[in-house]
């Protein structure tokens, strides 16, 4: 087990610089165009695949970095480039984590490569959990999965929403209810293979920020998938459901993680790293602007009102990064989040991103309010971090419950 460190080793620095170069040379020049077009930037994803950034091998190497810093380091640099394009590049990762967290070795080996495709024929994948009436309240999920024993198939019906890559993905990972009486303990995750009849794209959302990332509804109408597409397998599911039913009968309070929560818990520090990248990008633009913009015969950074804001911005960004790195190291080291450190990192980093990008707009003044400067886009993009993969309010609830041991509502 690697000890926690705040210093990247030489190999990690080399990877960081490589990703930073791609973000600076390929992502940033394309950011404004794809934000305006509000379309998936397939050419940029393909370029990322050609150099090896959009690939299973790359994410596996970063995921299994023994220090735990591979993924947050990569996320920060990509999202420093542009949040919308970066999310299009890494969005498949959430579906991949869903398979890694809940799937068998055979499922991992079979389906994750199909999520990415090849550099000449890139694919994307989608993780589908949220529903019109079930966002933070996963217990309100209505999508149902019913097992057809005679055919050894699962039949899925329902509507998912807010799905990154939803409808345009090849592989969809869908969380559904298999036993409504067990609440969130009666959920399971399913692989919907490419071209499966009954799955279609619903509404595509026009968003405030991260416009280059495709977000849509996914409609499931009598979608039949092989029994082998239940993540983890039916034997494991039956055992888990049986334990949950026994606990329910006995009035036991054992908490059983459902499929969606296992995925989100693993990805929260990575989302924090995305927020750090966006915040850092906005801070750097504001710092450069403050050093070159003159008013009353001197650079505006000579004024304490501006300089102190920049000092606070940098301090908060560094603090957010440390929380993200700590949680990432704890996860790879197998240390339990006894104080909900994963949620802490996501909560603080996302709030910092919103605050820092707003301050950057203010420092640039009227220029910051125009699309001639990127902080306007960064400010819009930052709004998503306090919303997706668990709102800030939900993160606070998770932290408070963990600290108190109480079922705070």
How many angstroms separate the CA atoms of 314 and 283, rounded?
Answer: 7
Beta bridge partners of 113: none
Beta bridge partners of 189: 175
How many angstroms separate the CA atoms of 177 and 179, rounded?
Answer: 6
Burial class (CB in 10 A: 0-12, 13-18, 19+), 224: middle
How many angstroms separate the CA atoms of 59 and 53, rounded?
Answer: 8
How many angstroms separate the CA atoms of 275 and 277, rounded?
Answer: 5
Q: Is the dihedral of CA 3, 7, 13, 19 positive or negative?
A: positive
How many angstroms separate the CA atoms of 384 and 211, rounded?
Answer: 11
Active site (annotated) includes residue 221 = no
Name residues whose C-beta falls within 8 Å of residue 242's C-beta, 6 or more positions apart in sequence: none
Name residues whose C-beta falls within 8 Å of residue 184's C-beta, 6 or more positions apart in sequence: 138, 139, 141, 258, 261
Q: Are 141 and 131 in contact (CB under 8 A)?
A: yes
Instruction: Identify which of 223, 270, 321 has the alpha carbon closest to the alpha carbon of residue 8.
Output: 321
Q: Which pairing describes strands 199-204 and 187-192: parallel, antiparallel, or unpaired?
A: unpaired
* Of 265, 351, 376, 389, catalytic: 389
Q: Which residues of 268-282 are buried (b: 16+ CB within 10 A; e: fewer)?
A: bbbbbbbbbbbbbbb
How many angstroms separate the CA atoms of 275 and 271, rounded?
Answer: 6
How many angstroms separate the CA atoms of 324 and 98, rounded?
Answer: 20
Instruction: Identify which of 314, 189, 214, 195 has the alpha carbon closest to the alpha carbon of residue 264.
Output: 189
Q: CB count, 10 Å around CB of 391?
A: 15
The residues annotated with a catalytic role in the active site are 389
């Amino acid at each position: 087990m690697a000890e926690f460190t705040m210093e990247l080793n030489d190999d990690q620095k080399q990877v960081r610089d490589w990703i930073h170069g791609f973000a600076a040379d390929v992502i940033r020049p394309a950011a404004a165009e794809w934000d305006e077009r509000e379309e998936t930037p397939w050419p940029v994803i393909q370029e990322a695949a050609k150099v090896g950034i959009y690939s299973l091998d790359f994410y596996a190497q970063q995921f299994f970095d023994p220090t735990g810093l591979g993924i947050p380091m990569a996320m920060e640099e990509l999202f420093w480039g542009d949040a919308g394009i970066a999310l299009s590049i890494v969005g498949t990762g959430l579906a991949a984590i869903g398979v890694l967290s809940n799937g068998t070795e055979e499922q991992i080996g079979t389906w994750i490569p199909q999520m990415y495709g090849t550099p000449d024929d890139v694919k994307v994948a989608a993780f589908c959990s949220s529903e019109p009436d079930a966002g933070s309240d996963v217990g309100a999920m209505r999508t149902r999965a019913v097992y057809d024993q005679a055919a050894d198939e699962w039949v899925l019906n329902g509507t998912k929403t807010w799905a990154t890559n939803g409808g345009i993905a090849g592989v969809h990972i869908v969380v559904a209810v298999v036993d409504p009486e067990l609440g969130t303990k009666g959920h399971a995750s399913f692989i919907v293979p490419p071209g499966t009849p009954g799955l279609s794209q619903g509404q595509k959302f026009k968003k405030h920020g991260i416009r280059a990332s495709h977000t849509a509804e996914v409609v499931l109408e009598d979608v039949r998938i092989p029994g082998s597409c239940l993540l983890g397998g039916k034997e494991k599911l039956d055992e888990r459901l049986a334990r949950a039913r026994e606990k329910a009968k006995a009035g036991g309070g054992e908490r059983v993680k459902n499929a969606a929560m296992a995925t989100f818990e693993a990805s929260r520090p990575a989302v924090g790293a995305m927020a750090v990248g966006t915040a850092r990008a906005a801070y750097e633009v504001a710092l450069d602007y403050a050093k070159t913009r003159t008013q009353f015969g001197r650079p505006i950074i000579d004024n304490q009102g501006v300089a102190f804001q920049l000092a606070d911005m940098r301090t908060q960004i560094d603090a957010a990064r440390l929380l993200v790195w700590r949680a990432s190291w704890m996860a790879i080291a197998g240390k339990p989040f006894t104080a909900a450190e994963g949620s802490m990192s996501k909560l603080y980093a996302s709030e910092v991103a919103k605050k820092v990008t707003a301050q950057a707009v203010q420092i640039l003044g009227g220029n910051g309010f125009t699309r001639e400067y990127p902080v306007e886009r960064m400010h819009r993009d930052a709004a998503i971090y306090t919303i997706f993969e668990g709102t800030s309010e939900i993160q606070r609830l998770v932290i408070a419950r963990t600290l108190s041991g109480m079922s705070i509502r």
